[in-house]
């Protein structure tokens, strides 16, 4: 399809050049030139082509200007015109024409409006007459001989489109695209035989993408500015894009790409590097269905990345990619938790089905935190994570039972690791250490408050070793040591009711143990209730096992 669009464009240019050259030779009047031009172009495109006015000049070269040019649509399309433009201005150097070469000083298309249409039956209005009647093998043959020879002789200093508009409508998929304020300025050089160097700028004021029907797209309006530099070798059938940039709504990307064989397209590579951009602005670029930040969560910060992608249709793994990204000054807020998670930098490395994240300079509510996460096998995501630091115990209050309004305060030091598949959270393997010193626990159901407690535990997937749990209340003091077998998934929020209750073996040592205070006669259910008749779980929530 792309070849066809190139070919019909060349047909127009070459037709005008031929007619202009004939005018120089036989000095035809303007109306005769106009008639011949319209006849040739219409015949080549198999479309009705009209112009309001045509002028020819010879000063400083051969110039042809078409005013009010229109190219019609074929039958069966709602829109009457495929293209209409205020003017098409072409100027060529005369001396190269005598050497069977075409050097264009300028091709300027002013205010074109182009309609690209696809019907429900798959008919296209941007496929043209004579080109359509030629088989793909004939196109290849023609392009490799006469057309390529013609191409090799063309250069231009300025090909421009000013204030263009493109409307794309696909009735089969109900997708529409509108491009407004399109400006293009390019320069084409022919430094070597069958080789082209093309560079320039492409800008649009706005691109609007719409989809009608049940599944509407919610893509914001896009503004694009770009500069490009490409080298195309027709003989070797290679294309290289280098030192090119594109800016989408203020987010800039540097782009390099290569296609070793433009005919087969069985291999290509692409490199992209972005500048730093605010997360909020990046999220605003995405359709709402691709915003993966859930309700109750918010994130601010800046992101930059670079990535490389390689495609090889003949390889077992056709598509390969790698790269890295950096998040700076990241701030995560969760409505249900106290404090914000702030990170100076998150370094992200990715290659194929693996992503690694490393947290640098993190803190939670002012307490230091560091860690890393490794994600692999995107079909069934496997997570390996490590985290260590200090956290406020008050953060855990939301996970405690509502009965008795229990509250924790103080800080905990932790060094934890976990491993498992995302869809099998209950089977996660957890390892690490937790230490708590001189902290407070209160609850309305406690016979007396716990003035301080200390905890030192080692965690493994099969056991939690309680190295020390020391509790101090106004009337008592005691210490527990032991181990808990099969701690998971019971201790994971959301799985308590589904998992069997862990089993604790322990030793208790106390210098002062006031049973009257710790186990009063007044219990939930009334003062006359016999403790022995109550379910074990209904006893006051002391930090003791059942």
Q: What is the pTM of this model?
A: 0.72
Residue 420 reports pLDDT greater than 60? yes
Helix (H, G, I), strand (E, B) or coil at 151: helix
pLDDT (tens digit per residue) in 175-234:
889 999 999 999 888 777 788 899 999 999 999 988 876 555 677 889 999 999 999 988
Q: pLDDT band at residue 26, thresholds of 50, 70 and 90?
A: very low
- State the pLDDT at residue 217: 64
Of the pLDDT bands very low, low, confident and very high (cuts 50, 70, 90), residue 49 is confident
- Using pLDDT thresholds of 50, 70 and 90, give the confidence band for residue 64: confident
Whether 147 and 6 have beta carbons less than 8 Å apart is answered as: no
Task: Write down the pLDDT at residue 99.
Answer: 67
Q: What is the mean pLDDT of the chain?
A: 80
Strand runs labelled E in 60-194: 62-72, 81-92, 102-110, 113-118, 154-170, 175-192
Mean pLDDT of 367-373: 92
Cα atoms found within 13 Å of the Cα of residue 248, Cβ hemisphere only: 14
pLDDT at res. 36: 67
Beta-strand (E) ranges in 93-174? 102-110, 113-118, 154-170
- pLDDT at residue 135, rounded to an integer: 37
Question: Is the predicted pLDDT of residue 272 greater than 90, yes or no?
Answer: yes
Give the Cα separation of 326 and 313 in Å (integer).
31
């Amino acid at each position: 399809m792309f070849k066809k669009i190139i070919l019909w464009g060349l047909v127009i240019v070459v037709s005008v050049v031929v007619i202009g050259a004939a005018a120089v030779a036989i000095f035809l009047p303007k109306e005769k030139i106009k008639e011949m031009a319209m006849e040739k172009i219409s015949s080549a495109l198999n479309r009705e082509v009209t112009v309001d006015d045509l002028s020819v000049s010879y000063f400083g070269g051969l110039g042809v200007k078409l005013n009010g040019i229109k190219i019609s649509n074929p039958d069966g399309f709602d829109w009457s015109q495929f293209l209409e433009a205020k003017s098409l201005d072409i100027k060529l150097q005369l001396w190269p024409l005598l050497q069977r070469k075409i050097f264009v000083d300028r091709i300027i298309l002013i205010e074109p409006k182009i309609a690209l249409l696809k019907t429900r039956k798959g008919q296209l209005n941007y496929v043209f007459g004579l080109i359509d009647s030629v088989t793909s093998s004939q196109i290849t043959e023609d392009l490799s001989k006469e057309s390529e020879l013609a191409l090799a002789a063309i250069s231009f200093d300025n090909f421009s489109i000013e204030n263009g508009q493109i409307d794309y409508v696909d009735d089969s998929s109900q997708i529409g695209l509108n491009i407004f304020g399109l400006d293009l300025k390019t320069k084409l050089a022919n430094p070597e035989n069958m080789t082209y160097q093309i560079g320039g700028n492409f800008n649009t004021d706005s691109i609007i993408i719409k989809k009608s029907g049940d599944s509407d797209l919610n893509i914001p309006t896009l503004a694009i500015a770009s500069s490009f530099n490409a080298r195309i070798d027709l003989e070797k059938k290679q294309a290289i894009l280098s030192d090119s940039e594109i800016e989408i709504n203020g987010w800039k990307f540097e782009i390099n790409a290569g296609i070793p064989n433009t005919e087969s397209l069985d291999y290509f590579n692409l490199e992209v590097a972005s500048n730093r951009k605010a997360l909020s602005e990046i999220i605003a670029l995405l359709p709402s269905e691709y915003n993966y930040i859930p309700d109750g969560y918010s994130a601010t910060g800046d992101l930059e990345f670079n990535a490389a992608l390689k495609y090889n249709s003949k390889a077992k793994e056709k598509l390969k990619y790698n790269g890295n990204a950096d998040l700076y000054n990241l701030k995560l807020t969760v409505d249900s938790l106290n404090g914000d998670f702030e990170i100076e930098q998150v370094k992200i490395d990715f290659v194929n089905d693996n992503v690694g994240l490393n947290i640098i300079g993190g803190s939670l509510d002012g307490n230091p935190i560091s860690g890393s996460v490794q994600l692999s096998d995107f079909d069934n995501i496997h997570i390996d994570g490590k985290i260590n630091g200090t956290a406020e115990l008050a953060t855990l209050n939301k996970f405690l039972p509502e009965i008795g309004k229990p509250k924790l305060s103080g800080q905990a030091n932790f060094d934890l690791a976990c491993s498992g598949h995302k869809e099998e959270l209950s089977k996660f393997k957890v390892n690490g250490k937790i230490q708590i010193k001189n902290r407070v626990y209160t609850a309305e159901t406690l016979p007396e408050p716990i003035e301080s407690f200390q905890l030192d535990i080692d965690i493994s997937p099969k056991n939690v070793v309680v190295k020390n749990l020391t509790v101090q209340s106004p009337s008592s003091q005691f210490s527990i040591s032991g181990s808990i077998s099969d701690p998971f998934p019971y201790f994971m929020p959301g799985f308590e009711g589904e998992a069997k209750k862990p089993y604790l073996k322990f030793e208790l040592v106390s210098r002062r143990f006031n049973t009257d205070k710790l186990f009063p006669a007044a219990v939930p259910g009334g003062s006359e209730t016999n403790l022995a008749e109550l379910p074990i779980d209904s006893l006051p929530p002391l930090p003791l096992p059942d």
